[in-house]
Amino acid sequence: MASPKDLDPSASPSAFYGAEVRRLREAKGLSQSGLGELVYCSGAYIGQIESAVRRPQEDLSERLDAALGTGGHFARLFPMVTRTRHAAHFTPVAELESQAKTISEYAPTLVPGLLQTAAYARAVVRAAKPFAPAVAVDDAVAARLERARVLADPTAPLLWVILHESVIRTPVGGGHVMAEQLRHLLTLAGVGKLLVQVLPFSAGAHAMVAGSVFLMTFTEAPPVAYVEGLHSGQLLDDPAVVARCERSYDLARAVALSPAASLALIESAVEEHTHEQST
């Protein structure tokens, strides 16, 4: 995780907000703990705001303005921080992806958003929002594809994904779209951007049977876990809870196919979807 000194203020609205907190705090000669006492939170929380690990709340913005005498500066910045193309519950995760050292994800039903092609993403969004206007669908797809830019960065996080076999078998968008999506996964794996395992139907019940999980580790910050449900999600940072999520992920990984066998199964699924489309 980048330190506040190294964080690029232009990286995101949260990064700019955090840089402003640090700049004005230091101008007042305050430590993170000292500012925390003035605004009724911990110094560690101030540090997380400054490094864009946590997003500020509206009432904290108002207290920062009062403590630092900024004349409403943070209250004016707050709407910018909360404005996002992602669902509100997912925004913190999207902001943390580019700072992660490793990303590990178990996906039970769909190819993870970070790995989706445009056609696959459009099929997913349209299925979830059948009454949404075209412009809203376009915006949601663009936001999802924008996340994939992190994979092109030389310092991109190490990405390890476990897909349940149902993910590669379900013809999202039809055979052609699904085959293209699976070929995209094979390409990413082939160039070393992704390590993928498939959890086969034959594994039966397993440690992650209750849902999905998205794990991130950082160089200079504790790991976090993200779990998601229908129209909701939660970023977890309690060390004990995160450790339990990591253990469940490891247990699922242990019963999944090897990376080589997984790629072979994905290749066979490509052929099946291509054949189904042609017939």
pLDDT for residue 93:
79
In the chain, what are the domain boundaries?
Answer: 13-82, 91-278
> What does residue 195 show for φ and ψ, rounded to 5 degrees?
-110, 120
**Cα separation of 107 and 7, whole Å?**
30
Higher-scoring residue by pLDDT: 88, 245: 245
Tokens read off for 82: 């909360």
pLDDT for residue 10:
67
β 158-164/232-236 pair status: unpaired
Domains 13-82 and 91-278 share a fold: no
pLDDT for residue 154:
79
Angle, CA of 152, 259 and 234, to the nearest 5°: 60
Tokens read off for 167: 């993910």
- Give the pLDDT band (50/70/90) at residue 2: very low
Residue in the structure block whose two tokens are 């992704």: 194
- Give the pLDDT band (50/70/90) at residue 90: confident
Burial of 187 from C-beta contacts in 10 A (0-12 / 13-18 / 19+): exposed
34-44 burial by CB neighbour count: b if 16+ within 10 A, else e?
ebbebbebeee
130: pLDDT strictly greater than 70 = yes
Summarize the confidence of residues 230-249 as an average pLDDT: 92
Close Cβ partners of 107 (under 8 Å, ≥ 6 residues apart):
161, 162, 163, 164, 167, 212
pLDDT for residue 151:
85
pLDDT for residue 266:
97
Residues 162, 235, 116, 105: what is their CA dihedral angle, to the nearest 10 degrees?
A: -10
Higher-scoring residue by pLDDT: 6, 135: 135
Cα 205 from chain centre: 26
Do residues 100 and 155 lie in contact, with contact meaning Cβ atoms separated by under 8 Å? no
| Predicted TM-score of the model (pTM) | 0.73
β 158-164/224-229 pair status: unpaired
Tell me the CATH number for domain 13-82. 1.10.260.40
Of 70, 71, 55, the closest CA to residue 25 belongs to 70
pLDDT for residue 231:
82
pLDDT for residue 147:
84
Of the segments 27-41, 90-104, 144-158, which one has the largest average pLDDT value? 27-41
Q: Which CATH number fits domain 91-278: 1.25.40, 2.60.40, 3.30.70, 3.30.870?
A: 3.30.870
Cα 251 from chain centre: 22
77: pLDDT strictly greater than 60 = yes
1: pLDDT strictly greater than 60 = no
β 224-229/213-217 pair status: antiparallel
Tokens read off for 89: 């519950």
pLDDT for residue 135:
86
Question: Mapping DSSP to helix (H, G, I), strand (E, B) and coil, where does residue 199 land?
Answer: strand
21: pLDDT strictly greater than 60 = yes
Close Cβ partners of 108 (under 8 Å, ≥ 6 residues apart):
164, 166, 167, 208, 211, 212
| Percentage of residues of the chain with pLDDT beyond 90 | 58
CB atoms within 10 A of CB 117: 21
Summarize the confidence of residues 219-248 as an average pLDDT: 90
Strands (E) in 8-64, as ranges, are: none
Residue in the structure block whose two tokens are 């590990």: 104
pLDDT for residue 48:
83
Mean pLDDT of the chain: 88
* Tens-place pLDDT, residues 151-192: 887 778 899 999 999 999 999 999 999 999 999 999 999 998
